[in-house]
Structure formats: C-alpha cells, structure tokens
Structure 1
C-alpha cells in the first residue's frame, strides 16, 4: 500500500482517537528543528505521564472507525456521515515500529470501533500487541482499549501483552447509558473490568510464590466517563467513579467533557460544549479522594450535589465546615493538615519534618515554600493568634477570590510589559 494511503488512514484514525482522554495528552506542540531527535507534532502523537513524573510519547490511533453500534455521543457511530478507514494488523505494527525507530514515540495507545463483534475486534487489537511483543521484540509501553462485551479468555490474553487495559464506561449512570447507547448493556463494561481486576490480583499472589509467573497488565486498568452528555450531577459522577475505584481497583478514572459531534434530540445542542473548568473541578475532587483522605460524601451530597465553579473543592468544603478550623500546624495530625486549603501534600510533609525541630511561625512557613494566600485563613502558628476568627465563609471566599484576581492581573500586566 502506498505511503499516501497509510498517511490518509493515520490522519483519519488518529483524529477519531482524540476523543479518548484516558492516556492524558499533554497538548505539547514542539517541532523538530535542526535535525534533532523526536517530534511531538506528528499525527497521532499524544503524551502520558508515569507515576514518577516522566512524560511518555505515545502513538494514539484507532484500529478502525467502523462501528456496528450507534451510540449518540460517539463520533464513530454507524449513522454518522464521516470518512471511514481501517488499519490492517501488520500496518499498525509497522507504523508503531517505524515511529519508535525515529524516536517519535515510546509506546502505543490502541483503540478501535467495534466491527463484526466485540470478540472479533478484541482479537485484532491483541494481534497487534502480540506481534509487537513476540515478533518485533518491542518492550515499549502498550495501552489497549478493552472492547465492551469481549470474552474472559480474550481479556486474559490482552493483559499478557499490554501494560495497561481500559474499558470506557462512557456514561456515568446506567439510565444515561440506556438513553444514549441502547444497544449496549452495563454488564458489557463491568464484566471485562472484573476479569482484569481478578487476573491482576491473581498475578500478584502467584508472583510471590512463583517468580516466573507471566506478567499481567502491570500498569493496571483505567476507565473514562463522558461528562455533560446527560443530566448527571457532579455527585452522580463522583459516586460512580468512587464505585469503580473501590470495586474494580481502577488506577485512574478520566473525565471527558462532552463535545457535540452530531445533532440528536437526546443530546445537548451543538455549541453547548461542557466548560473545561467543570472537568478541572472533577479532577481536583478525584485527587482529594485518592490522596488527601476525603470521603466523597463530605464533598458532594444531597445538600451540595454540584461542585462550586468559583473555587476548588477543598476550599469549598472548608468554607462549609469552618467549625473544624483553625488548625494548629504545630500539633495537628497529617490528615488535618492536608485539609487546609492551599496546602498540597508536599507542603504537609515539609511542615511535619520542620516542626520536629522547633515551633513554626508564618515566617518559617514562607521560608520552606508554603503558600499562605489561602491557607492563612484556616490555620494558626506559634506566636500568632487566629486573626480571621470574625470572618464569615462568604467573606473569606470573597477575599480569596479578590486576591486571586489581583494576582492574575499582576501576572498578566508583567507579561504584557515584556512585549512592550
């Protein structure tokens, strides 16, 4: 097949894959100049981050954008009038190896529309990964999208060749799925998830006894929800995410704001794209649940079913629970320090280490790099009385927002002065 035809396929199938955010694209736009190594602007190049902070470039493509389903929210739905294409198994393998040899990528993110059947599609995805591992001796990162409804046998085989597996649950609630994807069943998503979870647990248990146990999906599994296609509240979304973290040992749940791709009476109108800030607030909440010791019911409940767009969820929670403040940074346990707005976990660890040697003051906190613009309203230090005891929640919120806007204007003015 000609180079131009492969390039056309890549253009179509990389563009169709951009709606899947579960590989954490960074949006980098660095070009290759002066015959340097690598290029981040090629079609299908996206970026993900490892647990130690390294950025990894991936080839992100669909095997095909043909699909037997007609999900209202999906750009590849069978009734959508778009240009269709499909990679052969060997073409996907060759493309990955050629990109890798040119130092464009360090791994592959491979998904697909569902054609013929879930098992047939999953077999082809596995065939690409298997060829890369066994025939090309490829040891780079591979993320395979698991196909809803695929058999347990195929899910097991997929985990032998992929570093990470993921099944996108797509819509946060069962009722929303029935409305927008009536051809799909909720158990089609959860069954592969459960298989992967159990195989990972089995692998870890056997590895302790038999060192030669074949490695299985070492990077775990993830999933993605479309936000705003149906009327779920932030509470519905985060309760659903908590369910998947708890019951399926998810490494990550990703939240993707709905992008209107077709006219449909079941969907929001074209042009009513979900604000990026809503996605951001959901990710912040997710972070609080996973790393800061919060329970989802503390942040979202029947009284507060949606997140505050004006302020981050930790600050919003603190303003609703002023009775728990101020917190003495010299005596409070780490869990409570982590609940002070403006304090990240790095700042918490710095405080815990520093207070071993002396009572800390605000000046000490500034010297060790703790940001106090928000935190000062919720803490007391050695030698300082609580200066904000007479302020109400609405007043504290107003002061913080005012200071934030003032800081933004200062930074913006400084940037303008560089150009002037």
Structure 2
C-alpha cells in the first residue's frame, strides 16, 4: 500500500478523536489537501488558529471497544505508519504550507508500550532533529507509564486522555477492557508532574462518547466540572454516538447532534460564564432539554434576575443575559466608559445579539421590547 492510500485511511479514522472547538461551531471546516489528507483548524488558548494534520499512526488495534471502527474483531484494512514515515509526511505537508501542526493519535497496535514509543518518537524527531517549534497534540494511551507521560508533555503543546464515559459502569458497556479509574489515574500523574512545573503549554483535554450507553448529561457535566477544578483540564469534547457497521452497537440508535451541541453550550457556561452545575437546568431524566439552549433556559426560569439595566450591570451580570457573552460584555463595559448606551442601535453597533437579549434588559430604565424601541431596528 502506497503512502497516499495510507493517508486516506488513517486520516479518515482519526476523525473520531476531537481536537478543536471548531467542531461544535457553524464555522467548522474540513479542507481536503492535495494528497487526500484531512486538515483541521483548531483554536489555541492564546486565540490563534492553526491548521492541524489529524491522523492515526495506526488503525490496527488490539482492543475490542464496542463502539470503535478500529476494534479488533472488525474486518477492515489494517495499516500503520512508521515513525519516520509520519515525520516525512508531516514535513512535506508543512513544506507545501498546508499544515501548521500535528494532532497524532493511534489505535493500540502490538502493545501499548510499542504504540506510545512510536508516537513519542515522531514528536522527538520533529522537535530534536528538525527543530520544529510548532503545535503538537499527542494522545496519551490508557496504559501509558509515568515516564512516557512526562516525555509526551515535554514534546507536545497539548495532550489528551479520553475518558469516554462519566462512570465505570457506562464505560464497561461500551469498552469492557478499559478502566475509568486507571484513566483518571493518568490525570493524577499529570497533576503531580505539574507540581514539578512539567505542564503542557496548551493544556489537557478529554473526550466523551455521548449516547452509546445510558449515561446522563448531568453525570457527564458533573465529572467535567470536577476535572476542571481538580485536574486543571483545558477542554472537554463531546462526540454524539453514531453506529458503525460490524460493531456490537451497530443497531443502536444514533445520538442526536443537538445533544452534543447542548453539552458544548453547557460546558461553555461552566468554563467561561462561571455557572455551577447546580444552576444548569436538566429534565427529569438528567439530560439537557434539546429545545432550548441552557443559558436561555436558565434566564426563563429565573425571572427575578431580570430585567438588567445595561448601563449599570456588572460584568458578571451581563454574562447572565442571553445573547451576551464574554466578548460582548467587555464591549458594553468599554462603550459605557465613553458614554451611556442610549438605545438598541448602540447595542447593534457593538455586535450584540439584540433579538436574544431584548427581553432581559433595560436601557436607561426602558424595555427595548417596547414598540418604540423596536421601531429603531
């Protein structure tokens, strides 16, 4: 099999590992390169966007996860790159100015030790031999040892450990060979390394498969919140389960992508808006309602908090208003220092989502939902 065919298969297989916030936005991009690889943009903590080659080193897995396209008992072409092949591929794509960085994951091939060694070898060659200073994201395999984790952190900007499920019983339903406590132990190792100032520059991420077992959104988000607090997790990613042919879960109903969207919205409220888990609204089954975004739902169930005077509201109060996020709140506060906001036209000039926020605010004591104010739109 030639290298182009390998790229086609291993980049397609890598799509199940999520790596950037673009995946939950309307601006999501998947751009085919000239050699049929997939290049994904991802946003870094400093706001920069980089183009990543997202690829598996191998799809030849020794494990048998029920949801996975690469499971041991599934019939499909099994291939692997050597570390040197992967390095040559990446450097060629970079020479053509097609990529800025690398997201490298892998199925567990031969053994966890062998697979992790090969991924680390790729990073080592790029950093040490070719002096590559750009972005590298490495997936840490569940069985990785302390020294491998430490090496991964030294070479990579970001590392990820995929928990897949919020509780052990749910994980056993979709991946009987995995152990949730063992996975969380890897986060404990990273936490201890951070005390020695060995920290990935762009943080740690994890991923959950949503809907393959009977897990509840409240359980996913509760664990996510704990990970943010105790392990300084940078991001959690959510992947709505989609059944794959020739797997034990092939007849399971696909999970609505709206559930994935609502989880991202709720996660954003926790990370950026200072919401607690107890403030999120869940249905009787412990899931986020699909028909309303979590922030608007909170606003509708807390009428005592509104309306808020836009010219007096604190930053924290502004963040509670539907249609106003961190950037919009800062724009409002900055604009108020020059002069009072007079009407909806002033808000529109700031790029505020007026239709979403108008029922929750006052402008100089008046509701912009009034006919007089709306006539200004």
User: Which residue of structure 2 lines up, in the alignment, with residue 12 of structure 1?
Assistant: 9
Cα distance, 1:362–1:137 mapped onto 2, change above 3 Å:
same
User: 1:25 Cα deviation (Å)?
Assistant: 5.8
- Asked whether 1:28 is paired with 2:52, we answer no
User: Which residue of structure 1 lines up, in the alignment, with residue 304 of structure 2?
Assistant: 323
- Asked whether 1:291 is paired with 2:288, we answer no
User: Which residue of structure 2 lines up, in the alignment, with residue 233 of structure 1?
Assistant: 216
2:357 to 375, 383, 386: 375
Cα distance, 1:89–1:365 mapped onto 2, change above 3 Å:
closer
User: Which residue of structure 1 lines up, in the alignment, with residue 204 of structure 2?
Assistant: 221
Query: Which range moves more in the overlay, 356-365 or 256-265?
Result: 356-365
1:121-160 to structure 2, matched below 5 A, reads 121-160=115-154
- Asked whether 1:45 is paired with 2:28, we answer no
User: Which residue of structure 2 lines up, in the alignment, with residue 212 of structure 1?
Assistant: none
SS in 2 for 1:373: helix
User: 1:119 Cα deviation (Å)?
Assistant: 2.2
User: Which residue of structure 2 lines up, in the alignment, with residue 256 of structure 1?
Assistant: 239
Given that 2:41 and 2:50 are in contact with CA atoms closer than 8 Å, whether structure 1 keeps it comes out as: yes
User: 1:362 Cα deviation (Å)?
Assistant: 2.5
Deviations 1:165-196 (A, max 9, x none): 11111123221112221111113311222222
Unpaired runs of at least 5, structure 1: 32-38, 205-215, 389-420
CA distance in 2, matches of 1:255, 1:240: 13
User: Which residue of structure 2 lines up, in the alignment, with residue 163 of structure 1?
Assistant: 157
User: 1:264 Cα deviation (Å)?
Assistant: 5.3
User: 1:353 Cα deviation (Å)?
Assistant: 2.4
Given that 2:68 and 2:247 are in contact with CA atoms closer than 8 Å, whether structure 1 keeps it comes out as: no
CA distance in 1, matches of 2:242, 2:34: 24
Q: Give the root-mean-square deviation of aligned CA atoms.
A: 2.3
Given that 1:255 and 1:282 are in contact with CA atoms closer than 8 Å, whether structure 2 keeps it comes out as: yes
CA distance in 2, matches of 1:385, 1:137: 59
User: 1:41 Cα deviation (Å)?
Assistant: 7.5
Query: Which range moves more in the overlay, 378-387 or 61-70?
Result: 378-387
User: 1:87 Cα deviation (Å)?
Assistant: 0.8
Cα distance, 1:241–1:300 mapped onto 2, change above 3 Å:
farther
User: Which residue of structure 1 lines up, in the alignment, with residue 75 of structure 2?
Assistant: 81
Given that 2:358 and 2:367 are in contact with CA atoms closer than 8 Å, whether structure 1 keeps it comes out as: no
Deviations 1:90-121 (A, max 9, x none): 11111111111111111111111112332222
Given that 1:229 and 1:268 are in contact with CA atoms closer than 8 Å, whether structure 2 keeps it comes out as: no
Cα distance, 1:346–1:41 mapped onto 2, change above 3 Å:
farther
CA distance in 2, matches of 1:147, 1:30: 28
User: 1:252 Cα deviation (Å)?
Assistant: 0.7
User: 1:301 Cα deviation (Å)?
Assistant: 5.1
CA distance in 2, matches of 1:114, 1:121: 6
SS in 2 for 1:165: strand
Given that 2:58 and 2:106 are in contact with CA atoms closer than 8 Å, whether structure 1 keeps it comes out as: yes
Question: TM-score, normalised to structure 2's length?
Answer: 0.89
CA distance in 2, matches of 1:29, 1:44: 7
Cα distance, 1:352–1:24 mapped onto 2, change above 3 Å:
closer
SS in 1 for 2:317: helix
User: Which residue of structure 1 lines up, in the alignment, with residue 375 of structure 2?
Assistant: none
Cα distance, 1:29–1:359 mapped onto 2, change above 3 Å:
closer
Question: TM-score, normalised to structure 1's length?
Answer: 0.81
Given that 1:22 and 1:224 are in contact with CA atoms closer than 8 Å, whether structure 2 keeps it comes out as: no
Given that 1:29 and 1:40 are in contact with CA atoms closer than 8 Å, whether structure 2 keeps it comes out as: no
Given that 1:69 and 1:114 are in contact with CA atoms closer than 8 Å, whether structure 2 keeps it comes out as: yes
Cα distance, 1:383–1:161 mapped onto 2, change above 3 Å:
closer
Query: Which range moves more in the overlay, 20-29 or 115-124?
Result: 20-29
